[in-house]
Structure 1
Amino acid sequence: MSASESTQLKACRPCSKAKVRCDPGPSVACQRCHRLGKDCIKQAPRFHKLKHNNMSYVDVGRLERKLDNVTSLLTASRRYAEGINSHANVASPAREVVWVSEPSDQETEDMLKAFHQSMALFFPFLVRSPSLTAHDLRTQKPLLRLVIPVIFYKNVSSQQAHAVKSREYWMEQLLVKGEHGLDLFQGLLMFIGWTQLTLPMPRVTLVNNYLHLLEAQVNNLDFRGDSKSGMTGSVFSYLKDFGLDERLRDSRTLEELRAYLGCFYLVTMVSLCLDEKDPMRYTDYTEECCRAVEAAAEFESDKHLIQLVRIAQMAAKIHRTLNRHEIDVPNGSASTAMIIRLLQKDMQQLRDSLTCEFPQSAIVFLHYHTLELMIYRTAMTKLLHDHPIPQIDVLCACVEATKSFFDTFFTIPSHLYLQLPYTIWVQLGHGLAILSRILIHSDPRGNWDREYARQRLNFDATADTFGLKVEEAISQAAAEDIEMPPIFTQIKNRVVMWKEGHAARCATLDRWNQDQPQAIAPGMDELIPDVDVDDMLMTGSIWNFFSL
């Protein structure tokens, strides 16, 4: 090939899409395509000239309508978000904090007993020692003693007062004084674990800050993995050289190990469902803690604990694998499809290991279906768009996983709603977001039929069913003279807004799809602005509505 010919030719299509240099190879394929085994599709210079100098082949009117639809979609999303925020402000006026006296030892004892008989069923990382008394709480675990009334007081004003007290206490101890200890670690773990019951209800950014604080306690309390203990010149490296690090690890009590594993589970599941931060890393030390708790088998609930940690471990693996943090594979949709198949095998092994009694079984399998959604939502991104058969298979799997998720959630009796930890509610929010996206998702190349999803799933019916379940919970609480937290009393109005928001997005995208060409001519796809509507649906209030 002459120098004049090489300067006239345009980069091949794979290199052009990857925005990398396209150098001639040893064969017809360029060097990069030859090395990666890709089809080296050449592009004639006329496409380059058309793209920059000639718009005669482009329907300018269609592009203008496409831009109008983008504006309409963004406007609808913004109005939807403003509507929820304004409604939340009206429906949740600031309550005057009513200071109440601390509960008596007998009241504390009753609440502590109730916690371990009901709520600890779903969050087995805080197990009461048989010898722990209300007096012990006052002298040894002051933060836990403050947090328990936040969860169990029947009066919302009293709940708010204790929430303020406990929040001020741990903020002063952690941020002002720089203290650390098992009580602060466990208390913060419980506070975040049922943060939906605290007033005012924290927004996503605040929850994210809580998670960072909780994770910081792992370092302050010297819970560490191999990476930290092996740093050259660190105190831990010297301990390791003299064989003292294992002695320090062996001194950990099972109570401490459960709290550490609870931190891993909570931070990982909330982070991935809110899509705000990376999960905690599962280290060799985390595995050691799991084996120690499993081998001791001190409490029956430890079996449930191990299963929740294994689920969180799988969630972290899914996140890092699909985001290419832990593997080195060639770019391309085929590799993504292969990764999904490998993850499916791991998921089947995990499912075979899940065994527990109801109602914990419903909670465990709800987590499992959340893992499926984390994998299959990939089909609604660009990773599989150029490979229609795997994309359709994964989209169908996403539909079925979404249906299974809500079928499982609705098996949970409504009277348990007050006992469920925050990790369950963020999974429900994540599930509703995926439900909305899969029902709206469309493929401009016509490879996906939305009617299949709409025959299997219904956003309005799902939201209405959830609203009815919450109404049942409110009625049951009223019969027991329990005042429901605002997060539940506002659900009825929020259901209406969720349905209206979903309908507005459906209408906007229907107009969008009507303006799309029936088929994209070869070479014309690069002349169409690279706007992925589904990417826009990942953001907005519907994703994080439980934190409004």
Structure 2
Amino acid sequence: MEGRSVSDRTESLTADSLPSSPSSGLSSAYASTLSSVPNTSAIVEQSALSTFKQLIPPDSREASELLAFFCSEMAPLFPFIRLPWGTTPRELLLEKPLLYMVIMGIAYQSDTQRQQVFAKLFREEISRSILICGESSLGLFQALLVYSAWNHVHMQLKARLSNLLPLAMVMVTDLELHREPHTRSKTSPGALREVGRVPGAPNSRTLEERRAFLGVFWLSSVTKTCAKEIDGMRFNRYADQCCHIVQEAMEYPTDSYLVHLVRIQQIADTIATTVYSDNLMGSSTLNGSVATPMSISSLEREVQAMGDKISEMQHLVIPPACEFPDLLMYRHARLADKEGREKAMLMISYHTVQAYLYKIALNDQIFSSLSATTPGCPWTSNTDVPPSNTTPTITPIVRRADLLVSCLFAIKSLADHFLALTDMVIFSLPYPTWLQLGHCILILTRVMEIRHSTWDLGYVSQLLDFREVLNRLARRLDKVISRGREAKPARHLPVIFEAVVERLGEIGKLIAEGLHAVGSGNNRNNGAHNDIGNGGRDGNEGWAGAGAVGDGAVICGDETGLVFDDETTQAMCDFFGVEV
């Protein structure tokens, strides 16, 4: 078995697992039933875990290389799951078999078809463990996190991140990872089995447990921010405590990176509660409408402070694979600047949160009600620094345009940081990073649909060449895919990326056509600067293309020249996890 390739072992197991012909003593009806359910027979004979161990034996060189690759190139990008230094594949298999399975699968970038086989086996085993056997353990929980973090690897199996996260959040409760051990109060919920139970000795969570808990928060927060309105985990006092403990311990160099990722999403959590809460978004009263814009300036300062902090970081390092110097696959690998990689990843998250805040300007309801009741508001803009003894008065319509421009610049900056990532990093990016990129692209398409007398799209497009931004992204992904095919060993992104490259180019073309239509035939932008701040009008009558934007939702509309066909919209939304 050791000398055979994964491909040979897979084909052999597939042939061996086919059910034999039913014996002549069986009824024809029963024989027909058996022949119609071959997978059931295979599962009875051999578990998914047993099959997986034959495909990738833990003592094989292949398993060692895959584990080394995960630890050095993939785990640092998702620092919530770290393995102790020197862990061998066999040790991992014995202690955490589900985690062994998922790591081997997502790290197998040389063959996407084999990845799908591994993913199917993992799904069978984790379903059996959780749903049939009712198992619950830290290793199983970590395996579910890793599987969710690289959701795009097995997206062909129709696995949605929004379906996986609830399982992880339930397991947090089952394992009581959301609090310190033995901290139940006299008013805590419980049933008969709690009667007479003696409280355990005071203890504290391990760093491994705290990282995993923060990982669920990060995954659910990014998903809620960028993809779908789910009931994600809220940042609370215990999460804050975990951040402090992990930061102070610094067991791994990536722990500082972990904490900053969580802190960025903590701000996103605050934005969601303050700006996108159901009560405020659905309010028709003046107080409800005013509360949201009045809080934007404060949130802007909080977001900007985080950006300044990231820019000033000097000691953020994701370590290279120095612990595996004997492996050929790493000896000749192009090692990126680890500090630069980490900063770029943090800046992608930071600019995503910026865009998440600024997209509130797409909401007609808030700004229309404000314009009708308040001719001017004392809001300060990030781009305007008033004298110390004055407070500028900014009309809602001007403030809205300012937010839209800030949103576009945030998206442009995010794209620049993404383009700065090396090929090796792009191959191993976790799915939430792709969600962040996709969400911002969809916000861009929505902003580009706006037509209004005070929104000069032609002028804005001179500041930012949106089509070129998308074309650069398309060219970069296309080049990464080509280089991966030529690499030794080959490395592949999931198949869906080839369609994404094509769609990015098409969207860029549609944007260019929309801009051309504005410049040649659309006169709604004429006199834009003359109408800004006009006290006789609220400035919102002519806003087209914008609308009520909920938490995490970006609408691809069809108001103007930017009309997306169903195939384009579906392909983009399926990959980036956005429901339209």
The TM-score normalised by the length of structure 1 is 0.71
Which runs of no fewer than 5 residues in structure 1 stay unpaired? 1-95
Contact 1:311 1:367 in 2 (8 A): yes
Q: Kindly state the Cα deviation for residue 531 of structure 1 after the two structures are TM-superposed.
A: 8.2
414-423 vs 531-540, greater mean Cα deviation: 531-540
- 2:242 is matched with 289
Taking the TM superposition and a 5 Å limit, the aligned residue runs for 1:148-547 are 148-153=103-108, 154-200=110-156, 202=158, 206-224=160-178, 232-235=187-190, 247-248=202-203, 250=204, 252-324=205-277, 331=287, 333-354=289-310, 355=313, 356=316, 357-382=339-364, 383-385=366-368, 386=371, 387-443=396-452, 446-478=453-485, 479-484=487-492, 485-499=494-508, 502=511, 533-535=546-548, 538-539=555-556, 541=570, 542-543=572-573, 545-547=575-577
Once residues 361 and 12 of structure 2 are traced to their aligned partners in structure 1, the CA distance between those partners, rounded to angstroms, is 47
Letter in 2 for 1:345: R
Contact 2:228 2:577 in 1 (8 A): no
- 1:109 is matched with 64
Q: CA 1:515 to 1:447, structure 2 compared with 1: closer, same or farther past 3 Å? A: closer
Letter in 2 for 1:476: R
Once residues 403 and 132 of structure 1 are traced to their aligned partners in structure 2, the CA distance between those partners, rounded to angstroms, is 41
Once residues 234 and 475 of structure 2 are traced to their aligned partners in structure 1, the CA distance between those partners, rounded to angstroms, is 38
Once residues 297 and 536 of structure 2 are traced to their aligned partners in structure 1, the CA distance between those partners, rounded to angstroms, is 32
Query: Number of residue pairs matched?
Result: 443
Once residues 471 and 173 of structure 1 are traced to their aligned partners in structure 2, the CA distance between those partners, rounded to angstroms, is 39
394-403 vs 327-336, greater mean Cα deviation: 327-336
Once residues 311 and 304 of structure 1 are traced to their aligned partners in structure 2, the CA distance between those partners, rounded to angstroms, is 11
Contact 2:412 2:469 in 1 (8 A): no
Once residues 362 and 173 of structure 2 are traced to their aligned partners in structure 1, the CA distance between those partners, rounded to angstroms, is 37
Q: Identity of paired residues, percent?
A: 29
Contact 2:341 2:421 in 1 (8 A): yes
Larger RCO (alpha carbons 8 Å, 6+ apart): 1
Once residues 473 and 516 of structure 1 are traced to their aligned partners in structure 2, the CA distance between those partners, rounded to angstroms, is 40
Contact 1:268 1:316 in 2 (8 A): yes
Contact 1:185 1:217 in 2 (8 A): yes
> Which whole-Å deviations, capped at 9, do the CAs of 1:380-407 have from their partners, x for residues lacking one?
1122342212212212211221221112
Q: Kindly state the Cα deviation for residue 530 of structure 1 after the two structures are TM-superposed.
A: 11
Once residues 179 and 360 of structure 2 are traced to their aligned partners in structure 1, the CA distance between those partners, rounded to angstroms, is 30
SS in 2 for 1:440: coil
Taking the TM superposition and a 5 Å limit, the aligned residue runs for 1:33-182 are 101-104=54-57, 105-106=59-60, 107-153=62-108, 154-182=110-138
101-110 vs 358-367, greater mean Cα deviation: 101-110
Once residues 82 and 155 of structure 2 are traced to their aligned partners in structure 1, the CA distance between those partners, rounded to angstroms, is 25
Once residues 71 and 432 of structure 2 are traced to their aligned partners in structure 1, the CA distance between those partners, rounded to angstroms, is 18
The TM-score normalised by the length of structure 2 is 0.68
Q: CA 1:210 to 1:513, structure 2 compared with 1: closer, same or farther past 3 Å? A: farther
Contact 2:119 2:154 in 1 (8 A): yes
RMSD, aligned CA: 3.8
Q: Kindly state the Cα deviation for residue 231 of structure 1 after the two structures are TM-superposed.
A: 8.0
The structure that is helix-richer by fraction is 1
Contact 2:434 2:576 in 1 (8 A): yes
Once residues 251 and 128 of structure 2 are traced to their aligned partners in structure 1, the CA distance between those partners, rounded to angstroms, is 34
